[in-house]
Amino acid sequence: MKASVTTGLGQGFVLEEIDLADPIGHEVRIEVKASGLCHSDLSVATFIGGAFPVVLGHEVAGVVTAVGPQVTQVKVGDHVVGSLIQYCGACVNCLAGRSYICLHPSATERATGSRLSWNGEPVAQGMGLAGFAQEALIHENQLAVVPDEMPWAPAALIGCGVLTGAGAVLNSANVRQGDTVVVIGAGGVGLNAISGARLAGAGTIIATDIEDAKLDRAKAFGATHVINSRTIDPVEAVRDLTGTGADHVFDFVGVRPVTAQGGQMLGKGGGLYLIGVGAMDAGIEVSALVALSNSQKVQGVYMGSSELKRDIPFYASMYLQGRMNLDDLITKEIGLADINAGYDSLKDSSTARVVITDLS
């Protein structure tokens, strides 16, 4: 089958013929129908690194074509969406309903070696998924079934950008009706936080960004107010709009000065949620005195604190009911051979997300 292989840092994505093993144990083979271009894969391919050669791609949707003998949760013909959340299902965190912080995530990997090979040599499988390929072999724990009528491109985006953005609001912060929410960075993930805030019934949804085109899109997704932080001090603007500061601030940018501004936007009892990692030293200094006297908190958020088997079908149903906008996240559909150009086009502020839908 054809797959887009990354052979090393800065080597980009190159279409190659590689081999996929037959499913064993809990493995599920899928024919890939759509695969989203998330920034994190580009980061792995350009500066984070890891095992090479590798097939990346972790926003993947497809149809099940074969299952291993121990698979019980999906069957041939099911439409499925993958997630990079790897969980064992048996540790104390999994049993407590927090599979996103499973203590044994490697339980979903193949003990006998890689599922992919290239000229007989093993190829790493990005995040247990490897969706930049015509087919993928994935542990059943990393797959959720969605209705057949769910279109492929928006389905793929649910696996990372939607789980992360909407999940941060609905699961991690547990935003309630009437709350005041600030979304810093209205990109592919932040827009889903705006959608999540609408679902939660937030009273005020403020989006900040440095690009007007992103802010226009944020308004279309349901932001009640937008702030261009290039031209307006976002802390003052949020304080003016809210009077007392925000209940929840979500940082999808992750650079120190921006995160610090996020902290200054909080009202009494407010929470700052760290999601974006825009620089290796991303983080914040917290004054214990300010935090304790205002009962404020700072929380890191991994994958929107999502339970993928519950949340992926939930967002699919919200989309199918017309209650969640996923279509306008997709600016462009491309072929499997065009991933490098696809990532280039994400630099343009008029582009939200790019999805591979031509896998011929």
Ligand X SMILES: NC(=O)c1ccc[n+]([C@@H]2O[C@H](COP(=O)([O-])OP(=O)(O)OC[C@H]3O[C@@H](n4cnc5c(N)ncnc54)[C@H](O)[C@@H]3O)[C@@H](O)[C@H]2O)c1
Distance of alpha carbon 92 from alpha carbon 267, whole angstroms: 34
When binding is defined by CB under 6 A, the residue of 107, 123, 130, 160 that contacts ligand X is 160
Give first-to-last CA distance, the chain, whole Å.
10
Minimum CB distance to ligand X smaller for 211 or for 333: 211
Six token digits for residue 291: 């935090």
The contacts of residue 245 (CB under 8 Å, 6+ apart) are: 238, 239, 265, 266, 267, 268, 270
- Cβ at position 98, least distance to ligand X in Å: 14
- List residues bridging with 180 in a β-sheet: 204
Size of the site for ligand X (CB under 6 A): 28
Best CA proximity match to 129, nearest among 81, 94, 165, 162: 81
The DSSP element (H or E) to which 95 belongs, if any, is: helix 92-95
DSSP-derived secondary structure for 265-318: TEEEEEEEEE----STT------HHHHHHTT-EEEE-SGGG--HHHHHHHHHHH
Q: Least separation, in Å, of the C-beta of 229 and ligand X?
A: 5
Amino acid sitting at position 69: P
99 binds ligand X (CB under 6 A): no
Closest residue to ligand X, based on beta-carbon distance = 187
**Could you tell which of ligand X, Zn ion, none binds residue 218, using a CB distance below 5 to 8 A set by kind?**
none
Residue 189 interacts with ligand X (CB under 6 A): yes or no: yes
Return the number of the residue (36 or 245) whose C-beta is nearest ligand X: 36
Binding mask 230-269 for ligand X (x = CB under 6 A): ----------------------xxx---x-----------
Q: How far apart (Å, rounded) are the C-alpha atoms in residues 215 and 347?
A: 16
Show Cβ contacts of residue 106 under 8 Å, excluding neighbours closer than 6 positions: 86
Residue 105 in contact with ligand X, rule: CB under 6 A: no
- Taking the least distance from each CB to ligand X, the nearer of 123 and 339 is 339
Residue 185 contacts ligand X per CB under 6 A: yes
Given Zn ion, ligand X, none, residue 91, with its beta carbon under 5 to 8 Å by kind, binds Zn ion
Partner whose footprint covers residue 252, from Zn ion, ligand X, none (CB < 5 to 8 Å by kind)? ligand X
Residue 66 contact partner, candidates ligand X, Zn ion, none, CB within 5 to 8 A by sort of partner: none
Q: Which residue ranges make up the site for ligand X (CB under 6 A)?
A: 39-40, 160, 164, 184-190, 208-211, 214, 229, 252-254, 258, 275-278, 301-303
